[in-house]
Structure 1
Amino acid sequence: MISKYNNNTDKQLSENHIDSISFHNTNLKKLRIDCQKCFGLCCIALYFSASEGFPTDKEAGKPCINLQHDFRCSVHKNLRNTGLKGCTAYDCFGAGQKVSQITFNGKNWRQVPELARQMFESFLIMRQLHEMLWYLSEALNLHSSRELSNNISSMILETEHLTALNPNSLQELDLTAHRTKVNSLLLQTSDMIRSKYHSNQNNPSKQLKPLAKGINFFGADLRKTNLIGASLRGAYLIAANFKGCDLSGADLIGADLRDADLSGANLTNCIFLTQAQINTAKGDSKTKLPSSLIRPAYWLK
């Protein structure tokens, strides 16, 4: 367990609330994948499952057969056609280069084999911390109440502090406890933002029906469903039909969008949507995405 911050750290958190508001715009690049600075950690540390977009299962700690000596992928430009859809969907949120270049100071697992296990474990922890940072930065960018924004700012700084820990300290973290605190702030943000979208719907279209309760929408046709301000947190949306849907203010955190059809859908102002989710879905040139996300190259033009 990590000890609580001392008074100087608490003071720093308070003084940096205003500065951290610019986190989303100035530091978002730190949460983007930079494979050139990584030692292929996702290609060896992770377990691959044939049921999750990979041709075969792969044990954690065993290098992918396509990982080259220089830590590059030999089939990177042809991942989908070689049955590696899971690779196109994966996002480490910049944890790979952080562990490779900062946590282990540029030492790689091939040069120093005795560090391999610790490096892989650190990567799995760092990935979760960076994912939390991404969601927190998105929450801060949504301009909620001042009190909530201040709390989010403090949590960003606290989480950033954790990402700077050495490998031994990283492995002593109580990630579950920290994630619980982060999730509380994300849920408060979601409730606040979605309520605003609900209140702005003075006259919802009678042609649209309310979203059914539950999280299982496997293959569902949602084209005639009112999804504005909807909570789709953790929902199973595999192969669901969202063609032309307006998802403004909808919370999509943790939603499974594999093969969901987003053609012509408006996701510009949905919240907590990640690049990894978009990479697993289907879309076209008319699909509207948040400015922080990139349209997958394989989508129909």
Structure 2
Amino acid sequence: MGIRFGGKPLPHGYSTGMAPRPDGVRRINNRCVEIECFANGWLATSAPFIGLSVVLAIGLPVFFLLLILWGVLPKPLGTQQWLVFWLVPWIILPIAIGIYLLEGAHRSRGNFIRVHRGTRQVYYVANRKKRLQVFEWDKIEAMAGFIPRPSAGGGYAQFNPLYLIGVDYTMNPPTEVCMICNNGGGNDARSAMPLWEYLQLFMAFGPDGLPPPAPIPPRLSRRDTAWKPLREWWSEKRAGLRTPVGRWLLPLKLPLWGIGLMFWYLPNCLGEYLQYNVPYTAFPKENDELCGFAEPAPKRKPVIRVNGEIIDP
């Protein structure tokens, strides 16, 4: 059964009964809709894991030192115990760097799927590849996939991303390709249905009436990009302090804020810094133009000369 194991087929031409939602959609226009692949979300965690390992490598020795100062741990400590406290936490860092490099997150942030309404074709370039694969939309087999994952409480939970399965007849022999969308993928097959409904309505009627995806944020400087998670964190917390109840609960919230800051937001800041110049897998320029996603050519700055000297316009 392979990739179809545990999945639920989603037929063409039939409503799922779910409201369409751009869950996993990156951008859309009158011609084409572009969808993030499942691997994008996974690759996005590699660089922050390096940041988390740095926080742990610094934070754990400081935590042990505080325990010693507070008398929780016996003192004086022997040389071997000091080495354990100060060096063992740093073992996590090379592991995180190794995962980052092995996954190729330093070379690509991921890839996309494009569904074109005019040609009724699906375009796909595998992550870190250059070959464009083309599939006929009407022959695409859609299903709510099944990806099990370990659960903290024992047993397993599951992802249910939307699978778009097609056959590439240009390969020898013809090869089946499973394109996995990066929709929310909750804990049952219904999580893939809003995206499938969205794609069906787009192919039938175009983008009119469909909820648009969140706008792609403008590219900032590397410094501003790195600090963006921290600024968002502070804006959210500051908004909560504008009410009397928020200010009254501040002493109770501070420990939770500190944990979130150290183990989530600061690692994400480092992750954004590392990934700033890492590109997504690109489509050919001809496909960008076909789908209406070609970047406008940069405007040339006019050169004005007066008596042979260049002046600013």
Query: Which protein is richer in strand relative to its size?
Result: 2
Fold conserved between structures, TM > 0.5:
no
Shorter-chain TM-score tier: under 0.3
Highest relative contact order (Cα 8 Å, sep 6+), 1 or 2? 2
The structure that has the greater radius of gyration is 2
Q: What TM-score do you get using the length of structure 2 for normalisation?
A: 0.23
Provide TM-score, normalisation by structure 1: 0.23
